[in-house]
């Protein structure tokens, strides 16, 4: 029987290069900061290069290593070009697919253009990045792919038709990639958060409920059984574990991070 090297593991990512998409803000930013603090040289991909570079600066001030790349994950050629640049400086050990967009509407009120946009970013974007990275990981002896999904993918949230559809696809994609690559030492899992307090939430409230932001925030928070929203650092903590060597026996799994929403709601 094998014995763990350390009982008090810090889930070290020292020397493991990670790519985090949508790493300029919200959950992606929290993951980038957490991974860098654990020793990972982080490559941040984001449409907003200025925001990504701010995260790089934050990491540098804390003694970590990071670099930023402007990248539209929906553009396969651009994704391939960006990953090829990253590969030039060495092996990529970890890919975190996080870049995504949301949408409000049911099947009747969702316009075709909005549906296409959601699927293009949330599904094709993940596919593009895995497509660009999987062969590299195989050639280098393995790696870890982590997709950020949502409880919407299994719970089918009201008035979130396109978003729920896209996140259901992400969960299925995770299982397929895990199964196809288990013999290549590539692990693939996903995290399904419930509502997390990110700049997206604040901007949504500011746009739709001007002057009532605090009231509506409280209402949204109370839809969670725990009575609060999740925080980006909590998603980052689970991501950190799943991408570390302490999770080497975990693949093909979806982890709800939902304050009890799926099991205890209602």
Q: Return the half-sphere exposure (C-beta side, CA atoms, 13 A cut-off) of residue 190.
A: 25
H-helix segments, the chain: 26-37, 49-61, 76-87, 112-119, 125-139, 152-155, 161-181, 199-208, 213-221, 232-242, 261-264
The active-site residue, picked from 126, 127, 163, 255, is 163
> 63: helix, coil or strand?
coil
Structural contact between residues 128 and 81, judged by C-beta atoms closer than 8 angstroms: no
Would you mind telling me the total number of residues written for the chain in this entry?
266
Structural contact between residues 148 and 190, judged by C-beta atoms closer than 8 angstroms: yes
Token duo for residue 200: 């997206």
163 a catalytic residue: yes
Token duo for residue 106: 């049911």
Using alpha carbons, select from 115, 212, 200 the residue that is nearest to residue 165.
115
Q: Which residues are catalytic?
A: 163
């Amino acid at each position: 029987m094998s014995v763990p090297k350390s009982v008090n593991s810090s889930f070290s990512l020292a020397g493991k290069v990670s790519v985090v998409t949508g790493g300029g803000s919200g959950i992606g930013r929290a993951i980038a900061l957490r991974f860098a603090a654990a020793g990972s040289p982080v490559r941040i991909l984001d449409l907003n290069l200025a925001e990504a570079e701010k995260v790089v600066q934050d990491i540098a001030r804390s003694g970590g290593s990071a670099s930023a790349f402007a990248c539209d994950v929906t553009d396969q050629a651009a994704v391939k070009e960006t990953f090829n640049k990253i590969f030039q400086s060495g092996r990529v050990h970890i890919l975190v697919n996080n870049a995504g967009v949301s949408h409000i509407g049911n099947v009747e009120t969702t316009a075709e253009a909005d549906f296409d946009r959601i699927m293009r970013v949330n599904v094709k974007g993940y596919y593009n990045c895995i497509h660009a990275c999987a062969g590299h990981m195989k050639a280098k002896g393995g790696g870890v792919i982590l997709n950020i999904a949502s409880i919407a993918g299994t719970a089918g949230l009201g008035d979130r038709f396109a978003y729920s559809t896209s996140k259901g696809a992400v969960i299925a994609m995770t299982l397929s990639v895990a199964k196809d690559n288990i013999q290549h030492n590539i692990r693939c899992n996903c995290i399904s958060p419930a509502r997390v307090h990110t700049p997206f939430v604040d901007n949504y409230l500011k746009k739709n409920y001007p002057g009532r932001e605090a009231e509506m925030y409280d209402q949204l928070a109370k839809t969670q059984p725990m009575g609060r929203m999740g925080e980006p650092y909590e998603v980052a903590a689970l991501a950190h574990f799943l991408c570390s060597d302490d999770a080497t026996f975990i693949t093909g799994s979806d982890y709800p991070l939902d304050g009890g929403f799926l099991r205890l709601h209602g």
